[in-house]
Chain A
Amino acid sequence: MWIIACYVIYHCYGGSHSSVAAAAIHVGLLARDKKPGRRELTELPYFDSQKAQDHGFLQFMGRGKEGALVYSVGFETASAPVINAAKNLFSLGREAAENVIYVGTRPQINNWMIAGGIISRLLGLTCLGRPLVAWGTQLAHRGLVGLVEKTEARVRDLSAGEAP
Chain B
Amino acid sequence: MIYYYHCYRGAHLSCVAAALHLGVLKPSAGVKDILGLEYFDVLQNRDMGTPVLAGHSKGDPVCFLGLGPGSKIFARYAQSVTKELQVELPYKSVDCLGCLNLFTRVGGFTSRYRPLKNLGRRLAARGVHKSLGKIYALVLQARDSSSIISGGAGEKSHTRP
Q: A58-B80, A58-B84, A81-B49 are in contact. Are A89 and B69 (CB under 8 A)?
A: no
A93 to B66, CA, bound (A): 19
Which among B48, B49, B51 has the highest number of chain A CB atoms within 10 Å?
Answer: B49
Contact residues in A for B88 (Cβ distance below 8 Å): 95
Q: Does A10 contact B (CB under 8 A)?
A: no
Contact residues in B for A92 (Cβ distance below 8 Å): 2, 51, 53, 61, 63
Interface residues of B in 44-76 (CB under 8 A from A): 48-51, 53, 61, 63, 65-70, 72-76
Interface of B: prevailing SS? mixed
Contact residues in A for B72 (Cβ distance below 8 Å): 55-56
Q: Does B148 contact A (CB under 8 A)?
A: no
Q: A85-B51, A88-B50, A92-B63 are in contact. Are A55 and B73 (CB under 8 A)?
A: yes
Q: Does B149 contact A (CB under 8 A)?
A: no
Report how many A-B pairs have Cβ atoms within 8 Å. 103
Cross-chain contact of B77 among A7, A60, A73, A77 (Cβ < 8 A):
A73
Closest to B70 in A: A78
A79 to B68, CA, bound (A): 10
Q: Does A80 contact B (CB under 8 A)?
A: yes
Which among B63, B85, B90 has the highest number of chain A CB atoms within 10 Å?
Answer: B85
Contact residues in B for A77 (Cβ distance below 8 Å): 68-69
Q: Does B81 contact A (CB under 8 A)?
A: yes
**Contact indicator A89/B4 (Cβ below 8 Å):** yes
A-B pairs, top 6 by smallest CB distance, nearest first, are: A78-B70, A84-B49, A56-B76, A81-B49, A56-B73, A81-B48
| A77-B68, A89-B4, A89-B51 known, 6 other contacts, Cβ within 8 Å | A56-B76, A76-B70, A81-B74, A82-B49, A88-B50, A92-B63
Q: Which residues of B contact A (CB under 8 A)?
A: 2, 4, 6, 48-51, 53, 61, 63, 65-70, 72-78, 80-81, 84-85, 87-91
**Please, could you name 30 A-B residue pairs with CB atoms under 8 Å apart, sorted by A?**
A55-B72, A56-B72, A56-B73, A56-B76, A56-B80, A57-B80, A58-B77, A58-B84, A75-B77, A77-B69, A78-B67, A78-B69, A80-B49, A81-B67, A81-B68, A82-B67, A82-B77, A85-B51, A85-B67, A85-B70, A85-B78, A86-B74, A86-B77, A88-B65, A90-B89, A92-B2, A92-B51, A93-B2, A95-B88, A97-B87
